Amino acid sequence: MPMHVNIHEAKTQFSKLLMRVKKGEEIIIAKAGKPVARLAPIVERPIRRVPGSAKGMVTILPDFDAPLPESILEAFES
């Protein structure tokens, strides 16, 4: 559950609150007991994928959709 602080406390303890946020904690800032803002850590987004970046690295054989051998089918059925 996130920590709740009032605006005055947030202003006077801002650096300490940021240190807690940096460690992964979420803090809700309230005015007269009602939440008005949220301090949360920034989550790095993964690097965007580039379409076609594996071109030439993957080979699909002509029989990729051929029926499976009987021995493999039996393993799935048992």
Q: What is the pLDDT of residues 31-44, one digit of tens each?
A: 999 999 999 999 88
Residues of the chain with pLDDT under 70: 78
Query: Amino acid identity of 27?
Result: I
Please state the pTM of the whole predicted model.
Answer: 0.56
How far apart are the C-alpha atoms of 7 and 53, rounded to whole Å? 49
What are the residues whose beta carbons fall under 8 Å from the beta carbon of 24, sequence distance 6 or more?
41
Task: Tell whether domain 3-39 is in CATH 3.40.1620.
Answer: yes
Delimit the domains of the chain by residue range: 3-39
